[in-house]
Structure 1
Amino acid sequence: MLFDPFDVTLEDGDLLGEVELTTTLIVAASESDAKLSLDEIDRLLGVVPIPRQR
């Protein structure tokens, strides 16, 4: 088998994750009749709120 220096598979896990999250937001926003609330965005992104200390 010959080595082809231009046959390179590039994978960036962090970038793929960001693209997936961005796609999720774009789809949700396009399907919504109103602006997404911050709580909706957090839920879509999987953000877990930190409980406030009293």
Structure 2
Amino acid sequence: MYVAPAQSRGAVQDHVALAEIELCGDLIIAASAADEERLSADRIDEVLRVGDLRGEGEGER
């Protein structure tokens, strides 16, 4: 097994992992605040800001 040498500048943060953790936290907060038992697919998309990535004005693909 190969182990990469340690960075001399200290720990390097994995920004993708941190973003995923933040999104999971957002989903947990939304689920705990929801009145219904489960979040709808639309609500999940809203929490994860999926429309922001697709572009709100674009049609379905």
| The two structures share one fold, judged by TM-score above 0.5 | yes
Query: How many pairs does the alignment contain?
Result: 48
Give the structure-1-normalised TM-score: 0.72
Unmatched 5+ residue regions in structure 2? 1-5
Identity %: 38
* Structure 2 residue aligned with 1:44: 47
Unaligned 5+ runs, structure 1: none
Displacement over 4 Å in runs of 4+: none
Distance in 1 (alpha carbons) for counterparts of 2:16 and 2:49: 15
Bigger Rg, which one = 1
2:25 corresponds to which letter in structure 1?
T
Task: Give runs of aligned pairs for residues 20-35 of structure 1, distance below 5 A.
Answer: 20-34=22-36, 35=38
